[in-house]
């Protein structure tokens, strides 16, 4: 049971530390492991990171709460297709990577 949350992250040491793994287990969140050495599957290339960076460019915030509020408002304004298209693209790339036997494509 993962409470409906599945996290995709890379294999960076902070993400694979025992404390992080334990916390994820406590939340009962599932982790979709990032294939090693797969820059073609970077989570930053999918979903909202690129468009979010563009949208936030030039904004200045004085508190962390201002940033959080701005980002949450921006995400709520995005059409559902932004998220669906990103997930579909990730699924497609994941399949290519899984079938490439370690080769880049």
pLDDT, mean of residues 86-97: 72
Does 54 lie in the same domain as 21?
no
Does 92 lie in the same domain as 71?
yes
Beta pairing partners, 33: 9
Does 56 lie in the same domain as 28?
no
Higher pLDDT, 104 or 99: 99
Does 47 lie in the same domain as 30?
no
Does 92 lie in the same domain as 45?
yes
Element (H, E) at 9: strand 6-9
In the chain, the percentage of residues whose pLDDT exceeds 70 is 67
pLDDT, mean of residues 43-52: 68
Q: Is the pLDDT of residue 91 over 90?
A: no
Does 98 lie in the same domain as 52?
yes
- Per-residue pLDDT of 6-47, as tens digits, reads 777 766 777 778 888 888 888 888 877 666 555 555 555 556
Place of tokens 């036997």: 101
- The contacts of residue 67 (CB under 8 Å, 6+ apart) are 61
Give the residue numbers spanning the domain of 65: 37-104
């Amino acid at each position: 049971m993962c409470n409906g949350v599945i996290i995709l992250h890379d294999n960076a040491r902070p993400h694979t530390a025992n404390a992080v793994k334990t916390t994820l287990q406590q939340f009962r969140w599932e982790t979709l492991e990032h294939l090693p050495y797969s820059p073609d599957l970077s989570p930053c290339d999918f979903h909202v990171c690129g468009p979010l960076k563009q949208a936030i460019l030039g904004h200045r915030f004085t508190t962390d709460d201002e940033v959080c509020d701005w980002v949450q408002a921006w995400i709520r304004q995005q059409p559902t297709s932004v998220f669906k298209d990103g997930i579909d693209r990730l699924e497609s790339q994941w399949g290519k990577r899984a079938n490439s036997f370690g080769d880049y494509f």
